[in-house]
């Protein structure tokens, strides 16, 4: 049987550090998460399996990553066990700012991602 491709129904989207324990960002004074430029950020999303079992190797769910209204990546995934599947895009943001990040399939879900420069480390004078 030939593979089929469906646009994924996106349930939710989030931004997290790609590597667990990453020092690629932090939290501001209000507790909002931010990341540093040129550090890999995971744009994770859940999509609805639409009743397709994980044993179905023929049905692929398609999604696209859009940043500030421009498509930057696309992928297709098989369903996992349960009612929905989690997967992610990895992306490096080049400069400080706030980016509107969308994952699009049958629908679209978005999250704002804030990028800030790392704090400047003061050099200690030689003693």
Task: Tell whether the model's pLDDT for residue 19 goes beyond 70.
Answer: no
CA distances from 101 to 13, 45, 47, 56 (A): 9, 11, 16, 30
User: For residue range 23-71, what is the model confidence (pLDDT) as tens digits?
Assistant: 678 888 888 889 999 989 999 999 999 999 999 999 999 999 999 999 9
**pLDDT bucket at 6, cuts 50 / 70 / 90:** very high
Pairwise CA distance, residues 47 & 63, whole Å: 9
| Residue carrying structure tokens 């297709």 | 76
Kindly report the CATH class assigned to 4-115. mainly beta
Quote the mean pLDDT of the chain. Answer: 90
Most confident of 4-8, 38-42, 78-82: 4-8
pLDDT at 37: 93
User: For residue range 84-118, what is the model confidence (pLDDT) as tens digits?
Assistant: 999 999 999 999 999 999 999 999 999 999 999 98
Task: Tell whether the model's pLDDT for residue 14 goes beyond 70.
Answer: yes
């Amino acid at each position: 049987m030939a593979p089929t491709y469906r646009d994924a129904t996106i349930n939710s989207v989030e931004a997290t550090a790609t590597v667990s324990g990453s020092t690629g960002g932090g939290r501001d004074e209000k507790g909002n998460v931010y990341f540093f430029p040129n550090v890999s950020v995971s744009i994770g999303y859940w999509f609805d399996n639409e009743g397709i079992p994980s044993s179905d190797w023929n049905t692929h769910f398609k999604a696209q990553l859009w940043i500030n209204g421009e498509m930057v990546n696309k992928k297709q995934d098989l369903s996992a066990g349960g009612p929905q599947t989690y997967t992610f895009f990895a992306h490096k943001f080049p400069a400080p700012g706030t980016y509107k990040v969308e994952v699009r399939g049958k629908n679209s879900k978005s999250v704002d991602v804030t990028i800030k420069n790392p704090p400047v480390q003061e050099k200690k004078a030689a003693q």
